[in-house]
Chain A
Amino acid sequence: MARSLLGNPVNRVDGPVKVTGQARYAADNNPPDLCHGYLLTSTIANGMVLSMDLGAAEQSGGVIAIYTPDNRLPLHGEPPFLPNVLGERRRPLSDHEVRYHGQIIGVVVADTFEQARDAAALIRVAYRELPPNSSFEENLDRGEQPPFVGLPLGVPVDIGVASIDDALAASQVTQATTYRHPPRHHNAMEPHSAVAVWKGDELTIYSGTQGPAAHAEELAVALAVDKTKVHVVSPHVGGGFGGKAFTWAPTLLAAAAARSLGRPVKIVTTREQLYTVTGHRSAVVQTMTLGAREDGTLNAIKHHSFTEALVEDPGVRTTLSFYATPNLQLRLLCPPGMNLPTPTILRAPGDETGSFALECAMDELAIRLQMDPIDLRLKNYLRTSLQTGLPYSSKHLDECYRVGAARFGWSRRRAAPRSVSDGDWLVGMGMASAVLAAGRAATTVRVLFRADGTAAVATATADLGTGMWTILAMMGAESLGIPVDRIRPSIGDSRLPVGPGSAPYGAIGSAATATVMPAVRDAADNAIAALIQHGVTHRRSPLRGLSVEQVRYRDGKLSGGGTTIGFGELLTTTRTREHGATTTNEVKESTEYVFGSYAAHFCEVRVNRFTGEALLSRMTTVVDAGTILNEKTARNQITGGVIFGIGPALFEGGHVEASTGRIDNANLADYLIPVNTDVPDIDVVFLDHPDPNVSPVGARGLGELGTIGSAAAVVNAVCNATGKRIRDLPITPDKLFE
């Protein structure tokens, strides 16, 4: 066959439609007779809606309907399992209670978005207001062990001796440090939007989602219809980051309002509303206590973490998979009943926060022991799972350190802070590691040969900007031996084939590529077998009568008995539009290995000696994630991930007003994310060692790897530059200038 595409940089197949504005995102759909819903949100954080004066709004131009807790849209049941734990459980408008500032308390539907928005502003709401419990800091001593929810989240972990404190006390060196993250918001470019169209009892909904099939299921539960009646269309997603993994109220309300009005309804969440109605990452306080020998060997780790509510688990996942230690204790505590918006998962859930604490603590320990931070990490290199004792498959993190150190010039780092400067700028270097538990899930893929000479490859996953369209096309081309431009990938639609288990959730956990790729290969093999079967049995086929064994498929052609025929020609001859197979790829939990993906980050920072601004001058990230399928999309994921980690290090954080529960910076001018000038050159290197144990393709997940540990690399570099150890993110100039 032609030169393999895999491992080479391939341009995005969806690039042209995106740069020319032809890609249709959810809100770009404008079916006939469309009307627009606008969400009305609460201006208190705790209490009751007593009454709503709708008079002026009802008289306002173009208004069609106003839904409130007194005029509810019927929404039923509770979300199914995962979203019940990780999304918002309560149905919007279901009662008069207000639990957080910015909670949905009404929907105004009008002919235009502007009319709906302006009418919503005319609604006067009378509340019975109670003092809000919205201060994270004031709740720190109210933490409780969260109840078991059927997932490993929040479940205590104890490894080694009975008392971790004894183990720490027995260590030659102990170090206890506390690290803080403010709340973090996804801030995907595309806001949550939905356009709902009912035909009889069937719903078609255009709504950006990471998992179209799960989205359909969640909608079906809420609308009390069979899930086959719900068709989710979401070919392009303008960023998800976990915020579009589950179904949030705006989508439910669009569907319910459209049903009630008998007209299509579009709801586009405003930027400000996104901060409260579509989930966020909880603020986190973590205490990391390390016990070690003077030579750096870890003896005990005690990692306690405190979050607003049980969702992500920055205690467990990360620390379990970084370093060898005979003794380990992990705890997660949450306070009950805070008046804050619902937290959910966010890119690198748990791992981003956990790696920040652990990788900063390791840097602090290295400084204390006067060791090179890389040597300390190598000293505690983890080769077998702390929990199961199984070996890590194809782990090359040590090579990441080595290659990264050489490329970055780590040997030029001076251990003593403030020893390097460039004019008025203090220069520092820092590093950190990243470990991502590399999962792979079951999925189902359909491969169909078509009479027009193309092949359709379809599965109900999503492209969040992650490159899934391209990877699917490439893998289809590779498996069928035909050029990429003859592959017709399909994703982002709930009617496409869906796998079992968590597969409906599509693109989560950085596992989409690792999951879908081997499945495409298997599905292609089955489709080829089906094609051959068709060729030897169809009465019009020139191959008819041959045995299956006599026919070979190669590069889009079947040959046997002296005849060679392209599949398009064959199907044309047999008057068959398309033929192929749908294949479910089961994944057995490995009993021999544990899987991770790895990276080492290196960062150079400059800090102004007068005024304390920290500017990143360069970063190097070396990645070990098995086979790299498309260098271009992989590099894009890592670069984007590193920037996603720089964000909380230097800029990001929601400001919740303790006295009102209001988020003070719920917009993109005041909630700071890095802009181009803040982002340094990021040198990304892939080791590209195929992992034969994960799948025949050898690829592990990498989407979240860039984000894990990168904030710690920044913090460690700042400490090397200035001697100041910042444990409370973000690092703003006021923390550094004095």
Chain B
Amino acid sequence: MRAFTFDTPATVADAVAQAGDGSAYLAGGTTLVDLMKLDAMTPTRVLDINRLPMRGIRLEGARLSVGALERMSDVADHPMVRARYPVVAEALLRSASPQVRNMASIGGNLLQRTRCGYFRDPDTPCNKRAPGTGCPARDGHNRAHAILGTSNDCVATHPSDLAVALVALDASVLLRNRTGERIVRLDDIYRLPENTPHLENQLHPGELLTEVSIPALDWARRSTYVKVRDRQSYEFALTSAAVALDVRGGMIRNARVAAGGVGTKPWRLPAVERALTGRPMRLDTFESAVAHAADGARPLAHNRFKPALLRRTIVRALTGLED
């Protein structure tokens, strides 16, 4: 861990005024402190944002607004979240461990860094951590790595389960900077690695994520999150699927499908959504709809199973929405 200055701003304006290049916001710290101890992140200034008024889970019009500092466990337990967006509650409950969820914030979750082991080990090269040094994961251990959205420079998976559910629901985030505020679709926040894997998202230096906003979607009451992993808790996804279906009279009228554990960002699957829409709610529909779910995938030596596992994960999730 490197020496850094530490401040606890009392207002959002104060926080963004102090932030900039080389600074990091501290929310739950379950990612940041870990990475600082490993010397994988070396901010010179740490701003503890826990005093900021970025809390609350409430309806704003038809949208559900969640403050960035809400803890994962509180959001997962919230009656409105559980009733309206089961996929969000389930994605949260299948994340990390109860102890981590009690500490970790929604904002921090969406902005957590990849779990790629090379990224976390400063004794190895890594384009994301040290641009231009190379990507040992491509020929190294890459079971957990991505198959979609990868580049020659980086194949790291986006680790958040929550983000997969929120991308499926078309959620947006509210960002504050020195000059004002902007709203961006979560799906647009994440960048593909291309040849700049160190740039993970569209946040400007010092920009603060203050709120997550989930649009109304009546039929998201029929939604679920399936996560396949190597153990049953405290483990990231090999593959995951967030699905929501609008089913009437045995026919699928509308669908949302996004995948995790496979992409360099949460991976929305519009082609699968289209293939489901207008079809009967049946296993053969699901099976044919997922046929192209992993199109364009570039599997690596240790994750060749992921395209097939992804298709099966989505089918399993969809069958879970049958009456």
Let me know if B230 and A672 touch, CB within 8 A: yes
**A600-644 contact mask (Cβ, 8 Å, vs B): 1 or 0:** 000000001011110100000000000000000000000000000
Let me know if B123 and A43 touch, CB within 8 A: yes
Question: Are A615 and B308 CB-contacts (below 8 A) given A114-B1, A424-B319?
Answer: no
B312 to chain A, nearest CB (A): 5
Let me know if B233 and A611 touch, CB within 8 A: no
Q: Indicate if B200 sits at the interface (CB-CB under 8 A).
A: no
Question: Are A664 and B228 CB-contacts (below 8 A) given A43-B123, A611-B313?
Answer: no
B311 to chain A, nearest CB (A): 9
Q: Indicate if B248 sits at the interface (CB-CB under 8 A).
A: no
Question: Are A732 and B124 CB-contacts (below 8 A) given A610-B313, A611-B313?
Answer: no
Let me know if B319 and A738 touch, CB within 8 A: no
What residues of chain A lie closer than 8 Å to B139, measured between beta carbons?
659
B258 to chain A, nearest CB (A): 17
Interface size on B, residues (CB 8 A): 31
Let me know if A677 and B308 touch, CB within 8 A: no
Let me know if B39 and A734 touch, CB within 8 A: no
Q: Indicate if B141 sits at the interface (CB-CB under 8 A).
A: yes
Q: Which residue of B lies closest to A121 (CB)?
A: B39
Question: Are A677 and B233 CB-contacts (below 8 A) given A611-B309, A657-B140, A734-B309?
Answer: yes
Let me know if B230 and A118 touch, CB within 8 A: no
Q: Indicate if A674 sits at the interface (CB-CB under 8 A).
A: yes
What residues of chain A lie closer than 8 Å to B6, measured between beta carbons?
none
Question: Are A737 and B312 CB-contacts (below 8 A) given A611-B228, A659-B140?
Answer: yes
B233 to chain A, nearest CB (A): 4
Q: Indicate if A485 sits at the interface (CB-CB under 8 A).
A: no
Task: Give the contacting residue for A118; candidates B1, B115, B229, B305; CB below 8 A.
Answer: B1
Let me know if A611 and B312 touch, CB within 8 A: yes
Let me know if A672 and B316 touch, CB within 8 A: no
Q: Indicate if A651 sits at the interface (CB-CB under 8 A).
A: yes
Let me know if B313 and A664 touch, CB within 8 A: no
A728 to chain B, nearest CB (A): 14
Q: Indicate if A733 sits at the interface (CB-CB under 8 A).
A: yes
What residues of chain A lie closer than 8 Å to B295, measured between beta carbons?
none
Q: Indicate if A676 sits at the interface (CB-CB under 8 A).
A: yes
What residues of chain A lie closer than 8 Å to B316, measured between beta carbons?
424, 608, 610-611
Question: Are A734 and B123 CB-contacts (below 8 A) given A670-B117, A677-B232?
Answer: no
What residues of chain A lie closer than 8 Å to B117, measured between beta carbons?
664-665, 670
What residues of chain A lie closer than 8 Å to B230, measured between beta carbons?
651, 672, 732-733
Let me know if A733 and B308 touch, CB within 8 A: no
Question: Are A118 and B2 CB-contacts (below 8 A) given A610-B312, A737-B309?
Answer: yes
Let me know if A734 and B231 touch, CB within 8 A: no
Give the interface SS of chain B, mostly helix, strand, loop or mixed. Answer: loop
Of residues 267 through 320 on chain B, the ones whose CB sits less than 8 Å from some CB of chain A are: 305, 308-309, 312-313, 315-316, 319
Q: How far is the CA of A678 from the CA of B231 in the complex (A)?
A: 7
Q: Which residue of B lies closest to A117 (CB)?
A: B1
What residues of chain A lie closer than 8 Å to B68, measured between beta carbons?
none
Task: Give the contacting residue for A733; candidates B97, B233, B238; CB below 8 A.
Answer: B238
Q: Indicate if A662 sits at the interface (CB-CB under 8 A).
A: yes
Q: Indicate if A655 sits at the interface (CB-CB under 8 A).
A: yes
Of residues 650 through 666 on chain A, the ones whose CB sits less than 8 Å from some CB of chain B are: 650-651, 655, 657, 659-660, 662, 664-665
Q: How far is the CA of A610 from the CA of B283 in the complex (A)?
A: 12
Let me know if B231 and A738 touch, CB within 8 A: no
Q: How far is the CA of A613 from the CA of B123 in the complex (A)?
A: 34
Q: How far is the CA of A684 from the CA of B115 in the complex (A)?
A: 38
Of residues 135 through 151 on chain B, the ones whose CB sits less than 8 Å from some CB of chain A are: 139-141
What residues of chain A lie closer than 8 Å to B238, measured between beta carbons?
733-734
Let me know if B231 and A674 touch, CB within 8 A: yes
Let me know if A733 and B309 touch, CB within 8 A: yes
Of residues 120 through 174 on chain B, the ones whose CB sits less than 8 Å from some CB of chain A are: 122-124, 139-141
**B228-242 contact mask (Cβ, 8 Å, vs A): 1 or 0:** 111111110011000
A-B pairs, 8 with minimum CB distance: A734-B305, A610-B316, A677-B232, A664-B141, A43-B123, A677-B233, A610-B312, A611-B228
A-B contact pairs, 28 of them (CB 8 A): A118-B1, A424-B319, A608-B316, A610-B312, A610-B313, A611-B312, A611-B313, A612-B228, A612-B309, A651-B231, A655-B141, A660-B140, A662-B124, A664-B140, A669-B234, A672-B235, A675-B97, A675-B231, A675-B232, A677-B231, A677-B232, A678-B233, A732-B230, A733-B238, A734-B238, A734-B305, A737-B309, A738-B308
Q: Besides the contacts A612-B309, A662-B124, what 18 more A-B pairs have beta carbons closer than 8 Å?
A: A610-B312, A611-B226, A611-B313, A612-B228, A657-B141, A659-B139, A669-B115, A670-B117, A674-B231, A675-B231, A675-B233, A676-B233, A677-B232, A677-B233, A732-B230, A733-B309, A734-B309, A737-B305
